């Protein structure tokens, strides 16, 4: 098994993808809007991925946060709110905000489970700052570490109840980035002491099953490399200081914050200590390059993957999506 999660090009596997994935055996897959049409189509696609891998628990990921970051949406599926809606409620009624976040996450998980998706790349545990890039600020759970952690915990729990593994992101924090990593490499000049605020939510959820890195240079920790490619940040900050021992994947390595070939970036991330590389776009030439540069997944990383997926093994996914959404909306109406 190769330590990589690959994207797909369309609504069904192509013959080339089928042959390539069967030969390479990636650790998992990620879906985007280009892969989503109807319930029946998505279920058929995820079934084909499980059959191809021979693993019932093969990770099939999606970014389904709510708001602008939603790969599945109307008219086939309901729309969901983004993090700031729960942050606003927290100002008035913290426990109601936590319960609303949990109900919302469980409803999302049930929707995903219905079509065979078992990993959702949420929650964001990034602590918002006044100048946080809009690419992150419109999605965050707030600017106070305690509330971010509390609602983040509720989201992970809600997803698990619905049979879906949550991914805490973007470690060790994306809130101080002033530019969008899809297009630029941010450099954070805050001191180690100031950055303690950013680490607190992640430390509170250090037992989360999966986590995702950020493509950001933190001068206090490594002036030369973004977190995704920095052994110092991954080992000393994420693994030791935060205490995270779950499965650590990169953010999408195709983002322009990282430079170099797809293979160079993938190899660099694994060398730095990431368990998995996330390559989202389904471009065959890039996937071939990545697969050629990566060795088999290490025993330690494989154990982390198995442990993460085991957290939803046998989870009851027969809840009532409409009732959970109604509960969430009643609570959000308080604000």
Say if CB 208 and CB 243 are below 8 A apart. no
**Residue 321 exposed, middle or buried by CB count within 10 Å (0-12, 13-18, 19+):** middle
3-state class of 97 per DSSP?
A: helix
Where are the strands (E) in 32-100, listed by range? 60-62, 64-66, 69-70
Q: CB of 90 within 8 A of CB of 82?
A: no
Q: Which two tokens stand for residue 92?
A: 């008035």
Per-residue pLDDT, averaged over 260-269, amounts to: 97
- Give 175-227 pLDDT, tens digit per residue: 999 999 999 999 999 999 999 999 999 999 999 999 999 999 999 999 999 99
Rounded to 5 degrees, what are φ and ψ at 236?
-85, -35
Q: Which pLDDT band holds residue 318 (cuts at 50, 70, 90)?
A: confident
What pLDDT digit, counting tens, does each position of 305-314 carry? 999 999 998 7
Closest CA to 210 of 218, 200, 202: 202
| Euclidean distance between CA atoms 24 and 12, whole angstroms | 18
What is the dotted CATH code of the domain comprising 79-261+271-285+297-332? 3.20.20.300
Kindly report, residue by residue over 11-39, the tens digit of the pLDDT.
999 999 999 999 999 999 999 999 999 99
Helices 94-114 and 83-92 meet at what angle, rounded to 10?
150
Contact 120, 62 (CB under 8 A): yes
Per-residue pLDDT for 315 more than 80?
Answer: no
pLDDT at 323 over 80: yes
Q: To the nearest whole number, what is the mean pLDDT of the chain?
A: 97
The two three-digit tokens of residue 93, written as one number: 């009624």
In Å, what is the CA distance from 7 to each residue of 49, 74, 229, 280?
A: 11, 22, 21, 4
CA nearest neighbour of 298 among 332, 279, 258, 271 = 271
pLDDT of residue 226: 98
pTM of the full structure: 0.97
Task: Give pLDDT, residue 317.
Answer: 65
> What is the reported pLDDT for 332?
98
- Separation between Cα atoms, residue 145 and residue 202, nearest integer Å: 9
CA distances from 259 to 13, 179, 226, 263 (A): 29, 16, 11, 11
Cα distances from 233 to residues 81, 159, 251, 276, 305, in angstroms, run 32, 28, 15, 16, 21
Distance CA 42, CA 317 (A): 17
pLDDT of 253 > 90? The answer is: yes
CA distance 100 to 208: 20
Which pLDDT score, from 0 to 100, does residue 314 have? 79
pLDDT score of 316 more than 90: no
Q: How many angstroms separate the Cα of 170 from the Cα of each of 107, 124, 237?
A: 23, 7, 13
The whole-number average pLDDT for the span 40-66 is 97
Task: Specify the pLDDT at position 191.
Answer: 98
């Amino acid at each position: 098994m190769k330590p990589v999660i690959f994207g797909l090009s369309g609504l069904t596997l192509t013959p080339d993808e089928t042959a390539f994935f069967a030969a390479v055996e990636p650790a998992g897959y990620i879906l985007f809007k280009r892969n989503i049409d109807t319930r029946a189509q998505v279920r058929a696609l995820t079934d084909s991925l499980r059959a191809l891998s021979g693993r019932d628990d093969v990770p099939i990921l999606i970014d389904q946060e709510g708001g602008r970051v939603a790969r599945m949406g109307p008219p086939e599926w309901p729309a969901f709110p983004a993090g700031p809606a729960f942050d606003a409620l927290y100002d008035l009624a913290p426990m109601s905000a936590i319960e609303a976040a949990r109900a919302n996450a469980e409803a999302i998980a049930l929707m995903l489970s219905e079509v065979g998706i078992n990993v959702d790349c949420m929650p964001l545990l990034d602590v918002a700052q006044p100048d946080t890039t809009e690419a992150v600020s419109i999605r965050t759970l707030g600017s106070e570490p305690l509330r971010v952690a509390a609602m983040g915990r509720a989201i992970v729990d809600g997803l698990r109840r619905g049979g879906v593994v949550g991914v805490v992101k973007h470690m060790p924090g994306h809130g101080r980035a002033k530019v969008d990593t899809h297009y630029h490499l941010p450099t954070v000049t805050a001191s180690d002491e100031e950055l303690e605020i950013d680490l607190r939510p992640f430390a509170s959820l250090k037992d989360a099953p999966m986590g995702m890195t950020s493509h950001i240079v933190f001068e206090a920790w490594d002036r030369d490399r973004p977190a995704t490619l920095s052994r110092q940040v991954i080992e000393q900050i994420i693994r030791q200081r935060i205490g995270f021992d779950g499965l650590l994947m990169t953010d999408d390595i195709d983002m322009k914050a990282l430079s170099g070939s797809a293979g160079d970036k993938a190899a660099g991330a694994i060398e730095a200590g990431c368990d998995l590389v996330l390559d989202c776009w389904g471009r065959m030439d890039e996937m071939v390059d990545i697969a050629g540069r990566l060795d088999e997944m290490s025993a330690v990383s494989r154990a982390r993957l198995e442990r993460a997926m085991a957290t939803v093994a046998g989870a009851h996914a027969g809840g009532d999506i409409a009732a959970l959404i109604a509960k969430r909306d009643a609570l959000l109406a308080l604000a």
